[in-house]
Amino acid sequence: MSHALFSPIKLSGLELANRLVVSPMCQYSADDGCATDWHLMHLGMLAHSGASLVVVEATHVERAGRITHGCLGLYSDDNELALARVITQARRMGSAKFGVQLAHSGRKGSAQKPWDGVTSLKAGEDPWETLAPSPIPFGDGWHTPREATEADLNRIRDAFVNSAKRALRIGFDAIELHMAHGYLLHGFLSPIANKRTDQYGGSFENRLRFPLSVARAVRAAVPREVPLGARITGSDWREGGITPDEAVALAKALKAEGLDYLCVSSGGVAADIRNPSEPGYNVPIAARVKQEAGIAARTVGLIVKAEQAEQIIGEGHADMVALARGFLDDPHWGWHAAKALGADVKRPRQYLRAGPKLWAPAAKA
């Protein structure tokens, strides 16, 4: 029996055993950008989840580009050494491939960890200056960012390239640029956050200029056999913001720069915007990106059930599906999805005796 979700896919020189991806999820547990034992446990667990690819959380390209004091970074030798330790161990013990999402927080930086309050750091909490295309706060109570200068943009572009080179030395199987969720690159793309009147603002072509220059520079540094992708925003879910039409145009531009795949997400450009709540709400936009831009598309957002994921792939709406909270709730989501669909997925030998072939309760569940 054919199962679309558990069929292989090739992205540039990377062969993946199935279409299931663990979405990047911030853990807010780093030490000055350095991965810790928490990451070793967390990513080691997900390496056995049944997903063919695990994308490491937003990993920031400079210290002042982090979201919180606990966010992961890849801007120093210490960061590189700490993350290499985690990824080497997780890859050695698990079956999944590993990607990394490179990011800059923009105006959403210098923030509290979520469990400490969803707002900016206060005086005495070691806040830092944030940057954005325009000096507009993310929301009420947030820092007013400084408008990025040409020198800032050149430095940040170089920082993305340097972090990509560190990721290659670590041995990541894929690299992904974060152009969504209101962070710096998305901020330049969105008319809601970008009110500039220079070459980086106004028209779509101008708003695209800086993010596209980052993609171009990173692609030049990343060998063609290593997939380079991006997470993009399919809609800002607000009038005057990014629309699916612009998402398709962005996808075409990124494909022309040599990107291999896109993950279609949405929302997050302003604190008071709420995304739709229906399951798979990004799927129609991902389908447009896949079909109209002719690039491999991954979709994410309230994908919960195995049958739903199978339908998305089987009907050609996307090439891959990504889950975040689904894997936090059930770290063996991929195992259980394979069983529900009558498919098979690789398990560690140490756990084979708990599988349906060797344990009757699992077969009946």
Rounded to two decimals, the pTM is 0.95
Which bin fits 297, alpha (ψ -120 to 50), beta or left (φ > 0)? beta
- Do strands 228-233 and 174-179 pair parallel, antiparallel, or not at all (unpaired)? parallel
Structure-token match 């055993």, residue found: 17
Structure-token match 């909490």, residue found: 125
- Distance, CA of 275 to CA of 236 (rounded, Å): 9
Give the residue among 62, 134, 80 at the shortest CA–CA distance from 71: 62
- Distance, CA of 246 to CA of 281 (rounded, Å): 17
Residue 358: pLDDT over 90: no
The 3-state DSSP class for residue 31 equals strand
Q: State the pLDDT at residue 361.
A: 75
Give the mean pLDDT of 284-310.
95
218 contacts 164 by C-beta, under 8 angstroms:
yes
- Directed axis angle between helix 77-93 and helix 150-170, to 10°? 40
How would DSSP label each residue in 86-150? HHHHHHHH-S-EEEEEEE--GGG-SB--GGG-SSBPPTTS-----EESSS--SSTTSPPPEEPPH
Show the tokens assigned to 172.
């990541």
Predicted confidence band at 314 (pLDDT cuts at 50, 70, 90)? very high
Cα-based angle 307, 309, 312 (whole degrees, multiple of 5): 110
Q: What phi and psi values does residue 16 have, to the nearest 5 degrees?
A: -110, 140
pLDDT 10s digits, 32-69? 999 999 999 999 999 999 999 999 999 999 999 999 99
Cα-based angle 305, 227, 253 (whole degrees, multiple of 5): 95
Q: State the pLDDT at residue 2.
A: 59
Residue 320: pLDDT over 90: yes
pLDDT 10s digits, 135-178? 999 999 899 999 999 999 999 999 999 999 999 999 999 999 99
- Directed axis angle between helix 244-256 and helix 283-293, to 10°? 40
Give the mean pLDDT of 295-305.
94
Domain ranges of the chain: 9-364
Task: List beta partners, residue 231.
Answer: 178, 263
Give the residue among 163, 102, 108, 117 at the shortest CA–CA distance from 137: 108
Q: State the pLDDT at residue 365.
A: 64
- Name the residues annotated as catalytic: 183
DSSP H/E element including 60: strand 53-60
DSSP H/E element including 11: strand 9-11
Strands (E), 112-255: 131-132, 146-147, 174-179, 228-233
Give the residue among 109, 210, 104 at the shortest CA–CA distance from 159: 104
Structure-token match 């969105």, residue found: 190
174 contacts 228 by C-beta, under 8 angstroms:
yes
pLDDT 10s digits, 62-117? 999 999 999 999 999 999 999 999 999 999 989 999 999 999 999 999 999 999 98
Q: State the pLDDT at residue 351.
A: 86
Task: List beta partners, residue 34.
Answer: 31
Give the residue among 180, 176, 298 at the shortest CA–CA distance from 233: 180
Q: State the pLDDT at residue 342.
A: 87
What's the CATH fold of domain 9-364? Answer: TIM Barrel (3.20.20)
Predicted confidence band at 347 (pLDDT cuts at 50, 70, 90)? confident
Give the residue among 4, 3, 2, 1 at the shortest CA–CA distance from 318: 4
